[in-house]
Structure 1
Amino acid sequence: MMNRPTRPLLATAVALASLVACGTVSAGPQPSPGGQSTGAQYPMTIKNCGREFTIAKEPQRIVSLSPGQTEILLRLGLKDRIIAQAQEAASEPDPELADEIRSIKSLGAKTPPSKEVLIAQSPDLVYSGTEYEFNTEQGFAGKDELVKAGATPYVATAGCAQRRSTGTVEDAFTDVRTLGKVLGRAEQAAELEKQARAGLSAVTERIAGRTPVKTAQVFYEGGKLYAIGAAIEVDMLRLGGGQNVFAATEQRFADFYAAEVNAEVVLERNPEAFVFAVQDDTHEQQTVDYLKRTFASTPAVRNGRLVGVRNATFAPGTLASIQGVSAIADGLHPRG
């Protein structure tokens, strides 16, 4: 069986079920509570990760289980509805949102909450980056348990189990639109999407017409090297002007989008650049030292094209992916 890296973003992407991701919404005739003119009508039925969920009224008690998802909710102006968060230690908060994020109750800075802790919050919407956060084998509340308790589970589109290996940056925009409808923030969602798309376009337009750089997308940890062959990581590399030397169709990626590889596999492909996820400055230096030591003969090392990108930007369903695309573009196609 293939060995899998232990970094949070890969570990939480383990396929939990054979599901299909989508984010469609249909609504009934009832307006949102309090007579507010939000344009939302309830009951509302959404499709998420291949399942349908009916939302009786506009959610008012939201628990966010991933920092990227918390930031989206805050940018939609929903701080007053976020009753708790989890796993916020997975990434540094956006400076603009740092104070707000730190003021939100934490159910566990490094791990998802247990079933008992989560259900005790009496949420009506639980928003996560992947399906891992609903894995009952880990002691977390399952989707059916949450529905029974009166909460709707919502997973970022790119984090749905079957979608994880084919996720894209575009999926985050699907989530923004869906949440805007579900939470009565359609106008704010449209503006947020517009701003995010403008940021992405600024990057892609800057490097338009440049030849994609032949890149090995990897992750290094604990003395082991992993190749990344699919998922949002590869879409970000494409948008940032790179062409992965690993293909999603390779057998090594048949069950998972990442696979442990030996140095010879990489050397045979002679990459012009390396793009790799890093947890912090120390991890980045460790990875750089390993790449320089192991792949000194490659154009990537000879020309210093070693591009470290923060782990959090690769998380499914986060707008931070645009920052990741920008970092990749700057590393592969320097300004000026």
Structure 2
Amino acid sequence: MTNRPIRPLLAAALVLTGVAGCGSVSTASQSPTGSPSAAGTAQAQYPMTISNCGRDFTIAKEPQRIVGLYPGQTEILLRLGLKDRIVAQAQDGVSKPSPDLADELKTIRSLGAKTPPSKEILVSQSPDFVFSGSEYEFSTEQGFAGKDDLLKAGATPYVATAGCRQRRSTGTVEDAFSDLRTLGKVLGRADQAAELEKQARADLAAVTDRIAGRSPVKTAQVFYEGGKLYAIGAAIEVDMLRLAGGRNVFAPTEQRFADFYAAEINAEVVLERNPDAFVFAVQNDEHQRQTVDYLTRTFPGTPAVRTGRLVGVRNATFAPGTLASIEGVATIADGLHPKS
């Protein structure tokens, strides 16, 4: 689980407010004031107005100082060829990096490995575009820079579509493609975004085609940390499970998910549902070992444990607004429906 995984921060995430809204872009009718990026051919037009989480933001010129507030966000910025414009990243310690980007990620300044940066630290980087996976990163109650704080500092805040407060429980993998197109236009990388989307859709189709016709595997989607187990009942995490050929034993209509897409759960509930597989997010190798150990000790009689269907997935793949979700779908599919 990710983007405010249920660490001790769940209570804070539950009280966040906001309104739903997809990311969309409109440009002014005046002649373009921006110049095409060196690596692209599409001419971006500024000023440009984007709609995000129910608010409109106007971007005067192509952003040059970008901050990614979660690993999945930083990774997609790198894949768009924006390394020279990424001035900082945050929460880079909550997930293993994508292997092909690990070296590049090491060279980007970290503003906090486990939590979003404080308002003062973030503003001190003089960003002009800040990309997050959820509204949590802009929570002033936590001491983080709010959206209005960033606007005053000359930066545009952008939340992944599936991370908008009222959208978080109904987000889908498809939302990531909408974000990719918006980022491509806003950051002068429309051509690169189109190529990334084409490849990602092909990769996703390869997975879904491989498992087509197979019966969905009854799966408990969970997150384990600090001795506590949490059930995932909705959001992009469950859409990924569906695409990977799984059927979640937790339903989004359950009362425990009325306020948030995840909830602490006791072992008895899981035992009653007797899953054939477990799918869970992992932050690093040690976290995966701890989770597997807990599930093995706690649910030894379930088909999931007896058959070894314990599928750990890199935490960043569950982040709204990142193409890493395609990687996550592939990992889950391989665990639920092994290649013959």
TM range (shorter): over 0.9
TM-score (norm 1): 0.92
Quote the Cα distance in structure 1 between the aligned partners of 2:44 and 2:326.
29
One-letter amino acid matched to 2:34: P
Residue of 186, 210, 221 corresponding to 2:214:
210
CA separation of 1:93 and 1:308: change in aligned 2, threshold 3 A: closer
One-letter amino acid matched to 1:239: L
Displacement of 1:168:
1.2
The alignment status of 1:256 with 2:257, answered yes or no, reads no
Quote the Cα distance in structure 2 between the aligned partners of 1:16 and 1:53.
20
Q: Which residue is equivalent to 1:33?
A: 34
Q: Which residue is equivalent to 1:136?
A: 140
Give CA-to-partner distance per residue, 1:119-150, whole Å, 9 cap, x none.
22222111111111111111111101111121
Ranges in structure 1 where 5+ consecutive residues have no aligned partner: none
Quote the Cα distance in structure 2 between the aligned partners of 1:121 and 1:115.
10
Displacement of 1:151:
1.0
Give CA-to-partner distance per residue, 1:260-312, whole Å, 9 cap, x none.
22222122222111112222233223322322332222222222222222222
Secondary structure, aligned partner of 2:103 = helix
One-letter amino acid matched to 1:237: L
Quote the Cα distance in structure 1 between the aligned partners of 2:328 and 2:127.
32
1:174-323 equivalence runs, <5 A:
174-323=178-327
Quote the Cα distance in structure 2 between the aligned partners of 1:201 and 1:167.
19
Give the length in aligned residue pairs: 333
Ranges in structure 2 where 5+ consecutive residues have no aligned partner: none
% identical aligned pairs: 78
Quote the Cα distance in structure 2 between the aligned partners of 1:277 and 1:205.
24
Quote the Cα distance in structure 2 between the aligned partners of 1:7 and 1:322.
24
Q: Which residue is equivalent to 2:105?
A: 101
Quote the Cα distance in structure 2 between the aligned partners of 1:253 and 1:49.
21
Secondary structure, aligned partner of 2:93 = helix
Secondary structure, aligned partner of 1:105 = coil
Quote the Cα distance in structure 1 between the aligned partners of 2:11 and 2:78.
26
Quote the Cα distance in structure 2 between the aligned partners of 1:224 and 1:8.
10
Displacement of 1:324:
1.3
Q: Which residue is equivalent to 2:19?
A: 19
TM-score (norm 2): 0.91
One-letter amino acid matched to 1:31: P
Quote the Cα distance in structure 2 between the aligned partners of 1:39 and 1:13.
39
8 A contact 1:32–1:38 mirrored in 2: no
Quote the Cα distance in structure 2 between the aligned partners of 1:149 and 1:5.
28
CA separation of 1:176 and 1:15: change in aligned 2, threshold 3 A: farther
8 A contact 1:216–1:273 mirrored in 2: yes
Give CA-to-partner distance per residue, 1:218-242, whole Å, 9 cap, x none.
1222332221111111111111110
One-letter amino acid matched to 1:217: Q
8 A contact 2:20–2:54 mirrored in 1: yes
Quote the Cα distance in structure 2 between the aligned partners of 1:170 and 1:310.
19
